[in-house]
Structure 1
């Protein structure tokens, strides 16, 4: 199948993008890396009157430390995240997740902003944004606003983005000296969508978990924070007992849908296995996920 006919314009600034969108009275669509949009156009899931190419907007690029936050431009590509020293230093959970994103060809073109704006519940970066307590900078013709990741993902492919808005940057609190993180996912083949995946970021002092955020992908219509599992381990030393309590709490956090390949019971079982692995890594002070005197 081929896309329906559309007009195309490449813009060089946000103002030009908003003007182009307004010129077709909302019948436009923004194009960045195109790894999700182009297939959607070909399948006619989307049929815009105007395709607005924002890939040349310099203001949407770059990775920089801004006070206590790491600022990642929405057009930063997955491959850049994989290579970035700043990401490895200040947001290492993204570095751990990046190798699992599809295949090299897609990582070389796809953008982190595109992944988050699409909000595919099986994608790695939307879930990691939850685990990292990220904020998203959204722009429209009237100005900028910020939305926390906890309030951004609202349903299957549904987000807090309003018509015509552009996700311009992801803001992540810089990784602290007592923080540890871990990521893993289970899939049939490397590069396939995960059957289940998860990321954990925790603050650990004197072997006790002071704060923890656990986020899952591929277990619901949105990326999901496992708040009951977090509560089961917060304030405790990570041990066989606290891990088992967190695994049991997943029954309250996760309610995956039935599909033809994997039953809900199997997904929850795999989620428990994965969470046990990740908490074990978080509990290891000499493991690769922590640093400093954690």
Structure 2
């Protein structure tokens, strides 16, 4: 299909982009890599009057060391995140999750910030961002503000971004030396996650001293498996301890039922994949 007619602007600065969004109102759409927006436009599931193309905003690209955290530009491609040495050293979970996103073509065009702002609960970067306690830096007419990942994802395809705001950067606290793993279950290669688990674990002297576990596609937003984290901390890094902790994976979660899986099956997958992800993270 052919998209409905719309106006198009390609700003060269963040301020220009924010002004364009403010002028366009709720009928304006932001295009980053275009991997999500363009198919939606072609199917006419969205009919914006204005598309603001961010591809010229080079100030929103790259990974930078900010001391205790990494600062990742929203327009940094998945490929760049996956290959960046700072991300590999200090936020390895992001590398592992990004490696599962779609296919090489999408990873070369799609962007880190675009995926987060799109907020598809089956997307592979939301749960890792939540597990890593990432902070979203948003720019709007009133300036910039920071929104923790736990407050950023509100519902299906819905974030805390206002219509006239842009996600410009993401701050990711460093977890240097932590083991990490992203365990994904899907029906065919390159497909969306039916369920996935993002795990980061710190082990000292054979004992788990800290744990972060995020779940993908178990609710309308990514969720933290707090019960698993609490059950892991202080335990010896043994198979028995990990198996016991994984039984808490679906606690307090109301997973959806759809054509891919019903709620009970998703709960089962969450427990199985959590055990696998934590086991791999401990061994990493």
TM-score bracket, normalised by the shorter chain, equals over 0.9
**How far apart are the structure 2 equivalents of 1:98 and 1:31?**
20
Given that 2:180 and 2:282 are in contact with CA atoms closer than 8 Å, whether structure 1 keeps it comes out as no
Q: CA offsets, 1:261-284, max 9 Å, x none?
A: 312222222221111112222333
More moved, 4-13 vs 206-215: 206-215
Aligned counterpart, 1:106: 106
**How far apart are the structure 1 equivalents of 2:91 and 2:107?**
18
TM-score of the superposition, structure 2-length normalised? 0.95
Given that 2:228 and 2:245 are in contact with CA atoms closer than 8 Å, whether structure 1 keeps it comes out as yes
**How far apart are the structure 2 equivalents of 1:24 and 1:101?**
31
**How far apart are the structure 2 equivalents of 1:170 and 1:24?**
25
RMSD over equivalenced CA pairs, Å: 1.5
Given that 2:227 and 2:245 are in contact with CA atoms closer than 8 Å, whether structure 1 keeps it comes out as yes
**How far apart are the structure 2 equivalents of 1:145 and 1:105?**
32
> Deviation above 4 Å: which 4+ runs of structure 1?
none
Question: 2:162 aligned with 1:151, yes or no?
Answer: no
Question: 2:79 aligned with 1:82, yes or no?
Answer: no
Given that 1:238 and 1:279 are in contact with CA atoms closer than 8 Å, whether structure 2 keeps it comes out as no
Deviation at 1:2, TM superposition (A): 2.1
Q: Write out aligned runs for 1:161-176 (5 A).
A: 161-176=161-176
Aligned counterpart, 1:292: none
How many pairs align?
Answer: 284
Deviation at 1:221, TM superposition (A): 1.1
- Look up the SS of the partner of 2:197 in the other structure: strand
Q: CA offsets, 1:59-78, max 9 Å, x none?
A: 11111101111111000001
Q: Write out aligned runs for 1:4-43 (5 A).
A: 4-43=4-43
Segments of structure 2 that go 5 or more residues without pairing to the other structure are none
TM-score of the superposition, structure 1-length normalised? 0.92
**How far apart are the structure 1 equivalents of 2:99 and 2:249?**
26
Aligned counterpart, 1:57: 57
Question: 2:276 aligned with 1:283, yes or no?
Answer: no
